[in-house]
């Protein structure tokens, strides 16, 4: 397996040497050649003093990119070190949309400080507008700097408006890829591409050139994951965000969607493993233990209940000790197939391949899958149990083991398919259903069914 070499490993030693030698001129030239994303990736390798010195030498645009890529704790460190005047200067040189997005992930205390420092009333209003939406919604992520075209405009008027706006505001890439058309009440009625405008005759009307935006509009209150699904579905570079009255209030860019996808994927993977996304960047052992402890509560409670079930069938276990040797196998196979079903359903719900109304179809499908798998493995395990204990128990024990395996895998697959839908209906992230909860549930059901069958058939 080829070891991947991080890009920052090539330039960090040189930067450190230049910092130690106080060769600022050469250091500035070196920083110009370094991609800010690579610099941010190696940020944790630097000391606090090195971080502060390097950040001060970056240009405004590059410092913004680096800042956005950093963890919140490093962002706060830089803001506190910069002081009020430097913060104001950086904010004053940025377009409104970037100022809003630059600080949207910062703690409330830092955000309050920013609002007090920023002098541009337009910027303050935009910040307040975006911060008024709940976290992880389209409104909280949107860019509010939008070129609004009127449907009655001519092509020449629209192009002149775009020129005037871009002369006075610096726009992020993607904000001009699709231009949105509104009516007299600022309600979204369509969109037109810049390429279409440039190619059209000067006297053409925007109303004649635009396409409907009905399918691609995103409510500002929509969950960020739903917004990302829509952008992916239609392969958009940007998507319009509207308020409850269908007025255009902002734009969601593909860069924002990629961030959402990475974030949501990390959250789902963490929940499937029975932990939280914070653990991906945690290094302190005690901190990791604190993160995992709450998620294992369901497992230990379920384990206590399983122990009570085993105790209930203690007489059966005493008389047929061979049953104990197959309990872990039956429970594990049920847990495995349940986790498989749950993982597939969770991912299908997240990507939009499954809808809530399809829960019945999915349940029947996974029931059939679990039954067929259970029969297949039940025959194998039953045959193995007969080879081990057939001379003493004959056919009844293999029958119990086989039926236990069939019931365990069938029930587990069905539960694994249904639980994510139940969680979704309750407003809980479905990924939670694939963690310790699904394993504990299937263990309980598999053990209860297995021992009940043994009692009924063998005694």
What pLDDT sits at residue 282? 65
What pLDDT sits at residue 433? 60
Domain boundary among 77, 111, 141: 141
What pLDDT sits at residue 2? 44
- Side-chain-side CA neighbours of 254 within 13 Å: the count stands at 12
Average pLDDT (174-188) is 85
Q: How would you classify residue 446: left for phi > 0, otherwise alpha for psi between -120 and 50, otherwise beta?
A: alpha
Which position has the higher pLDDT, 431 or 412? 412
**Residue 23 phi, psi (nearest 5):** -90, 80
What pLDDT sits at residue 274? 64
**How far is the C-alpha of 439 from the C-alpha of 339, rounded, in Å?**
7
DSSP code string of 41-57 = HTGGGS-HHHHHHHHHH
**Pair (366, 412) in one structural domain:** yes
Which position has the higher pLDDT, 424 or 122? 424
Which range in 112-116, 263-267, 319-323 is most confidently predicted, on average pLDDT?
319-323
Encoded tokens for 32: 């110009």
What is the per-residue pLDDT across 329-360, written as a single tens digit (0 to 9) for each? 888 888 889 888 888 888 788 777 788 889 99
Is 416 domain-assigned? Answer: yes
**Residue 427 phi, psi (nearest 5):** 80, 20
pLDDT > 70? residue 454:
yes
**Pair (314, 420) in one structural domain:** yes
**How far is the C-alpha of 61 from the C-alpha of 44, rounded, in Å?**
21
Q: 204: how many CB neighbours lie within 10 A of its CB?
A: 17
Is 280 domain-assigned? Answer: no
DSSP E strand stretches across 205-332 = 218-219, 238-242, 248-253
Domain boundary among 108, 141, 174: 141
pLDDT > 70? residue 77:
yes
Is 344 domain-assigned? Answer: yes
Range with the lowest mean pLDDT among 158-172, 264-278, 339-353, 381-395?
264-278
Burial-class residue 318 by CB neighbours within 10 Å (0-12, 13-18, 19+): exposed
**Pair (377, 417) in one structural domain:** yes
**Pair (93, 37) in one structural domain:** yes
**How far is the C-alpha of 356 from the C-alpha of 350, rounded, in Å?**
11
**Pair (296, 247) in one structural domain:** no
Average pLDDT (213-221) is 91
**Pair (79, 200) in one structural domain:** no
Give the helix, strand, coil percentages of the chain, each rounded to 5.
Answer: 70, 10, 20
Is 393 domain-assigned? Answer: yes
Residues 60, 107: contact at Cβ < 8 Å?
no
Report strand pairing: 218-219 vs 238-242: parallel
CATH, residue 310: 1.10.357.20
**Pair (450, 302) in one structural domain:** yes
Domain count across the chain: 3
Report strand pairing: 188-193 vs 248-253: unpaired
Is 312 domain-assigned? Answer: yes
The b-or-e profile of 286-311 (16+ CB within 10 A means b, else e) is: eeeeebeeebeebbeebeeebeebbe
**Pair (341, 198) in one structural domain:** no
What pLDDT sits at residue 126? 66
What pLDDT sits at residue 432? 67
**How far is the C-alpha of 379 from the C-alpha of 365, rounded, in Å?**
22
**Pair (133, 166) in one structural domain:** no
Give me the domain span that covers residue 42: 8-141
pLDDT band with cut points at 50, 70 and 90 for residue 324: confident
Average pLDDT (292-316) is 78
Is 285 domain-assigned? Answer: no
Which position has the higher pLDDT, 320 or 434? 320
pLDDT > 50? residue 252:
yes
**Pair (299, 442) in one structural domain:** yes
User: Mean pLDDT over all residues of the chain?
Assistant: 81
pLDDT > 90? residue 392:
no
pLDDT band with cut points at 50, 70 and 90 for residue 157: very high
**Pair (23, 109) in one structural domain:** yes
Residues 240, 216: contact at Cβ < 8 Å?
yes
**Residue 300 phi, psi (nearest 5):** -70, -35
Average pLDDT (387-409) is 86
pLDDT band with cut points at 50, 70 and 90 for residue 103: low
Is 274 domain-assigned? Answer: no
DSSP E strand stretches across 213-297 = 218-219, 238-242, 248-253
What pLDDT sits at residue 52? 86
**How far is the C-alpha of 99 from the C-alpha of 111, rounded, in Å?**
11
- Pick from 122, 111, 116, 120: nearest CA to 145: 122
pLDDT band with cut points at 50, 70 and 90 for residue 8: confident
What is the per-residue pLDDT across 356-391, written as a single tens digit (0 to 9) for each? 889 999 999 999 999 999 999 999 999 998 888 877
Percent of the chain exceeding pLDDT 70 equals 83
**How far is the C-alpha of 398 from the C-alpha of 404, rounded, in Å?**
10
CATH, residue 245: 3.10.580.10
What pTM, to 2 d.p., does this model score?
Answer: 0.61
Domain boundary among 89, 115, 141: 141
What SS3 string covers 65-122? Answer: HHHHHCCHHHHHHHHHHHHHHHHHHHHHCCCHHHHHHHHCCCCHHHHHHHHHHCCCHH
**Pair (445, 309) in one structural domain:** yes
Encoded tokens for 340: 């498989």
pLDDT band with cut points at 50, 70 and 90 for residue 11: confident
What pLDDT sits at residue 248? 93
What pLDDT sits at residue 90? 67
pLDDT > 90? residue 426:
no
Residues 378, 337: contact at Cβ < 8 Å?
no
CATH, residue 46: 1.25.60.10
Is 1 domain-assigned? Answer: no
**How far is the C-alpha of 378 from the C-alpha of 365, rounded, in Å?**
19
């Amino acid at each position: 397996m080829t070891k991947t070499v991080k890009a920052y490993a090539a330039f960090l030693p040189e930067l450190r040497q230049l910092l130690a030698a106080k060769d600022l001129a050469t250091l500035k030239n070196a920083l110009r050649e370094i991609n800010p994303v690579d610099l941010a990736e190696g940020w944790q390798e630097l000391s606090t003093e090195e971080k502060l010195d390097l950040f001060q030498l970056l240009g405004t645009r590059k410092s913004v990119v680096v800042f956005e890529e950093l963890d919140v704790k490093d962002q706060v460190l830089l803001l506190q070190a910069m002081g009020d005047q430097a913060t104001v200067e950086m904010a004053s040189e940025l377009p409104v949309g970037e100022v809003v997005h630059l600080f949207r992930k910062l703690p409330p205390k830092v955000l309050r400080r920013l609002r007090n420092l920023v002098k541009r009333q337009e910027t303050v209003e935009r910040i307040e507008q975006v911060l008024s939406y709940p976290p992880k919604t389209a409104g909280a992520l949107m860019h509010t700097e939008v070129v609004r075209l009127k449907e009655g405009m001519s092509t020449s008027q629209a192009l002149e408006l775009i020129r005037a706006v871009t002369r006075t505001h610096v726009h992020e890439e993607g904000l001009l890829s699709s231009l949105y058309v509104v009516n007299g009440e600022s309600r979204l009625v369509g969109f037109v591409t810049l390429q279409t405008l440039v190619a059209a005759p000067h006297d053409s009307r925007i109303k004649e050139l635009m396409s409907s935006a009905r399918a691609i509009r995103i409510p500002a209150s929509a969950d960020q994951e739903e917004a990302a699904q829509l952008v992916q579905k239609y392969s958009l570079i940007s998507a319009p965000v509207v308020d409850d009255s269908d007025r255009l209030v902002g734009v969601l860019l593909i860069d924002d969607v990629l961030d959402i996808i990475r974030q949501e994927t990390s959250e789902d993977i963490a929940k499937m493993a029975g932990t939280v996304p914070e653990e991906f960047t945690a290094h302190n052992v005690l901190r990791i233990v604190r993160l995992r402890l709450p998620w294992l509560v369901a497992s230990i409670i379920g384990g206590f209940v399983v122990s009570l079930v085993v105790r209930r069938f203690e007489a059966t276990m005493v008389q047929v000790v061979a049953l104990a040797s197959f309990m872990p196998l039956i429970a594990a196979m049920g847990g495995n197939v349940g986790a498989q079903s749950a993982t597939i359903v969770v991912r299908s719900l997240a990507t939009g391949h499954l809808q809530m109304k399809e829960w019945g179809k999915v349940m029947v499908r996974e029931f059939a899958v679990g039954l067929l798998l259970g029969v297949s493995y039940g025959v194998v395990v039953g045959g193995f149990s007969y080879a081990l204990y057939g001379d003493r128990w004959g056919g009844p024990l293999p029958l119990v083991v086989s039926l236990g395996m069939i019931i365990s895998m069938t029930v587990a697959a069905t539960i694994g398919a249904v639980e994510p839908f139940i969680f979704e209906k309750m407003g809980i992230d479905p990924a939670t259903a694939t963690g310790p909860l699904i394993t504990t549930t299937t263990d309980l059901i598999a053990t209860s069914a297995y021992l009940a069958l043994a009692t009924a058939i063998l005694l």
